[in-house]
């Protein structure tokens, strides 16, 4: 008895079965979750060089600006795209990290399999390969 209401003594067996059913995709340890938990091992001293191929980079930048930057305008698109055109992301660590974060966010809006982590085809892993480089770089700074 809690707050004057008596709880039922038994639970309907059918309802009990429904409560115990788990969807496996949410209970297994995916590489994304492993990365978040720090299980991945990596060389913290390597600079990020794993940019997407030029065609995919252009697509991801466009997807980011089309789907995200309109709602939360953080970046000036002409300046950002000019920096990429001048290969600034290959020489400037801070701009390179920003490009990788834009790619990671743009990955959420494409079906291209190249945005997924290498060893799996889990849709939730889209963009994590670029996000993890930014985490590596931030640990070096």
Tell me the pLDDT tens digit for each residue of 19-54.
Answer: 566 666 666 656 566 555 554 444 444 455 689 999
Task: Flag whether 71 is in a domain.
Answer: yes
Domain count, the chain: 1
Please enumerate in sequence order all residues whose Cβ is within 8 A of that of 42, keeping only pairs 6 or more positions apart, or say none: 132, 136
Task: Flag whether 19 is in a domain.
Answer: no
Measured CA to CA, the distance from residue 130 to residue 128 in angstroms comes to: 5
Q: Which domain holds residue 92?
A: 43-140
Task: Flag whether 80 is in a domain.
Answer: yes
Q: Cα 94 to the chain's mean position, in Å? A: 19
What pLDDT, in 10s, does the model give residues 84-130?
999 999 988 889 999 999 999 999 999 999 999 876 678 888 999 89
- This prediction has a pTM of 0.66
Task: Flag whether 114 is in a domain.
Answer: yes
Question: 30: helix, coil or strand?
Answer: coil
Task: Flag whether 7 is in a domain.
Answer: no
Task: Flag whether 28 is in a domain.
Answer: no
Nearest to 128 by CA among 111, 110, 103, 109: 103
Task: Flag whether 11 is in a domain.
Answer: no
Q: Among all chains, which residue has been given the structure tokens 């974060």?
A: 101
């Amino acid at each position: 008895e809690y707050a004057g209401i008596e709880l039922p003594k038994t639970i309907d067996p059918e309802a009990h079965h429904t409560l115990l059913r788990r969807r496996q995709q949410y209970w297994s340890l995916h590489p994304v979750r492993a990365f978040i938990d720090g299980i991945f091992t990596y060389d913290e001293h390597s600079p990020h060089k794993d940019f997407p191929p030029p065609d995919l980079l252009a697509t991801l930048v466009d997807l980011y600006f089309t789907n995200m930057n309109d709602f939360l305008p953080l970046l000036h698109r002409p300046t950002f795209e000019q920096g990429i055109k001048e290969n600034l992301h290959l020489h400037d660590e801070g701009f390179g990290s920003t490009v990788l974060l834009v790619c990671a966010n743009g990955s959420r809006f494409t079906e291209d399999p190249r945005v997924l982590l290498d060893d799996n085809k889990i849709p939730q892993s889209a963009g994590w390969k670029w996000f993890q480089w930014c985490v590596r770089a931030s640990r070096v700074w």
